[in-house]
Structure 1
Amino acid sequence: MLSRAALSGIWAYQRFVSPRKGFSCAYRVAHGGTGCSGFAKAHIRDHGLLASLPAIRRRFAACKAAALHLRTEDDPQERSRKPKKSRWYDKCDPSLCCGCDPSPCGRGKSDAADGCGGCDACACSP
């Protein structure tokens, strides 16, 4: 029941709010694929609302990091500002890796031996 309500809310956002806000999801712009709302909708549909909340939170944190990165590329003054201290999960979502498995530490950092080949989404640091 909660999942249906969340999916309805996401649908309403995608249908009525997103087309009028004037900008795109920073994660989608930086990395391609679906936007955050599409990611959340698919994850909730596949795993349920409560099981999806941690992955959605990580995705929103990755989107925030992508927005900051895109902003610093556009505005040289932003580069000179001191960034906030980030946490490893602000930048990392192991479920978004290019097929690599997260390391035993659970922080998504991949080794070259696992065949991932330097997937950016797995390059997290504690």
Structure 2
Amino acid sequence: MSVAHVVVTVFAAVLVGFSAVSVFTRAPWVVKPIADYGIPAGWMPWLGTAKAAGALGLLAGLAVPVLGTAAAIGLILYFTGAVIAVARARWFSHLAFPLVYAAPVVAALVLAQAA
């Protein structure tokens, strides 16, 4: 395990964790776009739980690598779904937002596999 792997993984977990907290607290900068994309408000707790579980899984993966790999793959699938939802809503200017969260997760997965 390299220093880069630990730093990138912790950064990814903090970023995704922040996103989960933003969903749970129903921050306006999260709720309005999600509604604009056509995602039902009833999905908010599930979306936040998926992000929180992914963030915790990334951190747990530092001790048990298979958990980190599973969490990273799950988060990559989650953010791929987010990109698809944004594209289906035709908010192409917002496509970068889920990618900002996905990029460090992908980097953490690549570094974990390289270790």
Q: What band does the TM-score fall into relative to the shorter chain? A: 0.3 to 0.5
- Which one has a bigger Cα radius of gyration? 1
After TM superposition, the score normalised by the length of structure 2 is: 0.38
Q: TM-score, normalised by structure 1?
A: 0.36
Structure that is richer in helix per residue: 2
Higher relative contact order (CA 8 A, sep 6+): 2
